[in-house]
Structure 1
Amino acid sequence: MAEQKVALVAGANGVVGRRLVEELATLDDWRVIGLGRRANASIPGVQMLGVDLLDTAEVARVLGPHLEVTHLFHAAYQDRPTWAELVPPNVAMLDNVLGAITGPALRHVSLMQGYKVYGGHLGPFKTPARETDPYFMPPEFMVDQQRLLEARQQGQPWSWSAMRPAVVGGAALGNPLNLVVAIAVYASLSKEAGLPLRFPGKPGAYDKIVEMTDAGLLARATIWAATDPGSENQAYNINNGDVFRWSEMWPLIARYFDMDVAPPLPLQLTTVMADKETAWQAMQQRHGLAPIPYKDVSSWPFADFVWSWDYDMFADGSKARRHGFVEHVQTSAMLFAQFDQLRAAGVIP
């Protein structure tokens, strides 16, 4: 019988963290504890703990009794208006959790990162990005988090891994970083209004090379890196394995929703979708959809951010494949499957 492992997932209510919790919960040799600001207990077999990770004393009180934790998965994130302002809270959350998990059972700490490590959010950068690429001038909280993790690991019996996905595709609601839900809601409301589907991003973004990472694939890669002996103290780019251009993907998305495609037109969705709550509620009533608040499906600032990339955005994912994680996902199939999930849940018609 496999040795029992105990996972502690910080940020368990997010797109990444929730999918990781769901994946771990299917494995017989894992017991799962989730951390979130809300103790959402909707996943069978998972112990959820509500805690403010910025409150050092509260974190110590809640996590202190859990000396049995063998694997910490840190996927917690707090948004702030500027890149510099992201550093203090996100570094503090990791520091607080690491400070509270002091049990002798701890074997591995997994840190969730992204292409911000390469400066992908700042403008055109070297592509394909590789794990060996040098850091850039701070501030960047992901770099500071990794440096903190490496410093804390010195002389300790546990190892670490850092996962670097592209834009993560998942069907979880209530998260500000969810492109899949933004696409589905934008397309659904456009169709309800009798409009064709227009790409709303910057003109230069329509033809650039981009990629995504399926949330399920990322969860399985994260578990692999946390348990594979040859993956200790390594960073990994994790992507679906294909790249695409929105100019090729957009007609496929329109076909899924049975819509015509019109030429791209730059639209700040944060602005043009701000007054669509009434239209959202009318669509819900007309189609008998689930009564989900508009705020829980409104990821417009993130969609605007992704569709502002008028430069290539992709990384070399071959290191993980060379080390043994060979799973891949076709991005169009991922999108359609997640749109199907949103329809089955009554989120969109």
Structure 2
Amino acid sequence: MPRLDAPNFYYTQEDILFEETAKKEGLTWSVHRPQVIFGFSPYSLMNMIGTLSVYAAICKHEGVPLRFPGTRGAWESYSCASDADLIAEQHIWAAVDPYARNEAFNCSNGDVFRWKHLWKVLAEQFGIEEYGFEEEGLSLSELMKDKGPVWDEIVSENQLLPTKLDEVADWWFVDLIFSGEGMLDSMNKAKEHGFLGFRNSKNSFISWIDKTKAYKIVP
């Protein structure tokens, strides 16, 4: 598909990639386009699993319901995600398979889900009984802006890795992702070129929450 007529820093990155690889004969490139990434990345600027885990931990600590911070469209519609290990697998495949040279590929898990179903899973992972969607809307950036001291208590009481709230939670990112409808893509091109990797998104979601707990980022 042609590029959208709008600023996009990924376009700039691609242009640099194309320009640099063209300078050396035989050097090829590949572009990989994930959806929202499910992975372990506690200090990144786009950390869905970590941010949701921190939010759930705060709700559990304060004894309040785990409210969904987004639109009804985001709650009800189908979405897809990209497991971090699956993305790595596609990178390795593209680096060694000649049929993948100089191509761009979507990279998502290959299934779809609704956040209203994964929200139940998130609540279960943190032992929260009350959870759900609220019509009035909710901004995590606003709700969590004064929760630094609460997070300090959670870290101390549970002997977690010493962190500050703004180091491990990206409220703006979750607000952005949940501000509209769900997003879907197609893995047909990757499959046609020989990449058949996939993940169960629910299992992926749970496994990365478990890893976040194992590294004592959240209780």
Q: What TM bracket, shorter-length normalisation? A: over 0.9
2:138 counterpart (267, 273, 276): 267
Q: What is residue 184 of structure 2 aligned with on the other side?
A: 314
Q: Using the TM superposition, give the Cα deviation of residue 339 of structure 1 relative to its aligned residue in structure 2, in angstroms.
A: 1.1
- Measured in 1, the distance between the counterparts of 2:162 and 2:21 equals 46
**Helix, strand or coil at the partner of 2:29:** strand
Change (3 A) 1:195 1:159: same
1:226 counterpart (88, 95, 112): 95
Deviations 1:327-347 (A, max 9, x none): 211111111111111111111
Are residues 1:295 and 2:163 paired? no
Deviation larger for 204-213 or 257-266: 257-266
Deviations 1:306-328 (A, max 9, x none): 1112x230110121122222121
Q: What is residue 3 of structure 1 aligned with on the other side?
A: none
8 A contact 1:251–1:261 mirrored in 2: no
TM-score under structure 1 length normalisation: 0.59
Deviations 1:61-120 (A, max 9, x none): xxxxxxxxxxxxxxxxxxxxxxxxxxxxxxxxxxxxxxxxxxxxxxxxxxxxxxxxxxxx
Aligned residue runs from structure 1 range 95-174, under 5 A: 133-154=1-22, 156-174=25-43
Deviations 1:171-216 (A, max 9, x none): 1211110000011000010011101211111232111211110111
**Helix, strand or coil at the partner of 2:173:** helix
**Helix, strand or coil at the partner of 1:213:** strand
Aligned residue runs from structure 1 range 279-290, under 5 A: 279-290=150-161
- Measured in 2, the distance between the counterparts of 1:291 and 1:334 equals 26
8 A contact 2:69–2:140 mirrored in 1: yes
Deviations 1:123-145 (A, max 9, x none): xxxxxxxxxx2211132222233
Query: Higher helix share goes to which structure?
Result: 2
Give the partner amino acid of 1:273. M
- Measured in 2, the distance between the counterparts of 1:296 and 1:139 equals 28
Q: Using the TM superposition, give the Cα deviation of residue 305 of structure 1 relative to its aligned residue in structure 2, in angstroms.
A: 0.7
8 A contact 2:106–2:185 mirrored in 1: yes
Q: What is residue 181 of structure 1 aligned with on the other side?
A: 50
Give the partner amino acid of 1:285. S
Q: What is residue 348 of structure 1 aligned with on the other side?
A: 218
Flag the structure with more relative contact order, 1 or 2, with Cα contacts below 8 A and sequence separation at least 6: 2
Give the partner amino acid of 1:275. D
8 A contact 2:120–2:131 mirrored in 1: no
Q: Using the TM superposition, give the Cα deviation of residue 256 of structure 1 relative to its aligned residue in structure 2, in angstroms.
A: 2.0
- For this pair of structures, how many residues does the alignment match? 216
Give the partner amino acid of 1:218. I
What 5-or-longer segments of structure 2 have no aligned partner? Answer: none
- Measured in 2, the distance between the counterparts of 1:207 and 1:279 equals 31
Return the index of the structure with the highest Cα Rg. 1
Change (3 A) 1:308 1:192: same
Deviation larger for 262-271 or 211-220: 262-271
Q: What is residue 202 of structure 2 aligned with on the other side?
A: 332
- Measured in 1, the distance between the counterparts of 2:108 and 2:49 equals 16
Q: Using the TM superposition, give the Cα deviation of residue 147 of structure 1 relative to its aligned residue in structure 2, in angstroms.
A: 3.3
- Measured in 2, the distance between the counterparts of 1:240 and 1:151 equals 30
- Measured in 2, the distance between the counterparts of 1:141 and 1:288 equals 39
**Helix, strand or coil at the partner of 1:164:** strand
Q: Using the TM superposition, give the Cα deviation of residue 234 of structure 1 relative to its aligned residue in structure 2, in angstroms.
A: 0.3
Change (3 A) 1:233 1:283: same
- Measured in 2, the distance between the counterparts of 1:276 and 1:159 equals 47
8 A contact 2:116–2:132 mirrored in 1: no
